[in-house]
Structure 1
């Protein structure tokens, strides 16, 4: 099974990243989470470091472009197959870096993809 990393995960139930964690878990996906505060959502431990993450297939971003910049190399180093840029995270500068590293860029909404059966 492939792993999805929710990048920019929140403990706040009204945040889309929080909902995404729950929906991914409900869909049977193996979920990892990175956020600014440690905690748990739907049994998933939100970590404040990416050091222990391995074999990440998909990163679904929930962080605006300005907040993404310090994490470009972290994300590139994880070598995911794809990065999903959810609404509000669009970042052409980062698209270029990912594509140069042969990482697929998808500008979409993870929640919509899950609801229509197009996540995989």
Structure 2
């Protein structure tokens, strides 16, 4: 296989990763893809799960602050809503991690 064919194949695989996991997933794949732990144990699962949880928690918190600013009230920022956001992100992020591990371990 020539270098051009290998690069083309790598680019096609990276495009599939970006399509499935978005910009953050493709960044994690490019940055950690050559790591010695890649594909061993649950490294992919924990990497994608924790990254998705932190990103989603941050985005939902910013969205919550934006909604409270737009509608000019502070009812949307309280401990119960923060607990809901944390539970929601921690419940949903392992699905993203399992999906990434299943696809990227092959």
> Normalised by the size of structure 2, how large is the TM-score?
0.23
Q: Which of the two has greater helix per residue?
A: 2
Q: Could you say which structure has the greater relative contact order, defined with CA pairs below 8 angstroms and 6 or more residues apart? A: 2
CA radius of gyration, larger in = 2
